[in-house]
Amino acid sequence: MSDETTPETTPGTQGAESPEEAAKNPLADLEVDLERLRTDLLYAQAETQNVRRRLEKEKADAIAYAATGFARDMLSVADNLSRALAAIPAEVAADERLKPLVTGIEMTARELDNVFQRNGITKIAAMGEALDPNRHQAIMEMESADAAPGTVVHEMQVGYMIKDRLLRPAMVGVAKAPAGHSVDLEA
């Protein structure tokens, strides 16, 4: 028996690796692991930043639109005040005994409009505008020789926005061409 061992039979070596190559592999493995960990760290930092941005946006939205439910409920108050003012005949409004009552209703409606404005609640323009399905809800079509088809010619209920979001669509009547008239679609 010989005391010499060949590299193939030396314990702890694999195949034809020399002792130097065997010593380099743990370092190479550590470098690969280090690079993988760096990549994982970068992905984790990016994900953390995305989560932080998303939470900041959600917080800002929650603050900006917190009053949405309350504002929707207040729209019926605004509608009722508008109907009350529209229902007052001119002779009643001119009556000196009822003038303070009419003035009080008008002032209440104005103050409600001011409160809406301060809180970013605005009326949606409808009359004479082209139908915008994102802001208007068409309830009916009305024949009209004066307005282009698709134009709002009647507003049944005022619509509102809260900042840049729809609070309630305007309920409108839209013009259509009178019967017997052809519409030039290429114009």
Residue 166's domain comprises: 122-180
In a domain, 30, yes or no: yes
Q: Are 85 and 109 in contact (CB under 8 A)?
A: yes
pLDDT, one tens digit per residue, over 20-75 is 665 567 788 888 999 999 999 999 999 999 999 999 999 988 887 888 889 999 99
Question: Do 135 and 155 belong to one domain?
Answer: yes
Residue 8 lies in a domain: no
Do 131 and 81 sit in the same domain of this protein? no
The CATH number of the domain where 168 resides is what?
A: 2.30.22.10
pLDDT at 18: 59
pLDDT at 57: 92
Question: Residue 134 has what pLDDT?
Answer: 94
Looking at the structure, do residues 126 and 158 belong to the same domain, yes or no? Answer: yes
- Specify whether 75 is located in the same domain as 115: yes
On whether both 39 and 72 belong to a single domain, the answer is no
For the chain (187 residues), the mean pLDDT of every run of 10, in chain order, is: 48 52 74 93 95 93 85 93 92 90 94 94 93 94 89 94 93 88 50
Question: Would residue 185 count as lying in a domain?
Answer: no
Both 60 and 71 in one domain: the answer is no
Q: Do residues 81 and 36 both lie within one domain?
A: no
Q: What is the pLDDT of residue 13?
A: 45
Instruction: Provide the pLDDT for residue 66.
Output: 83
**Assigned domain for 83 exists:** yes
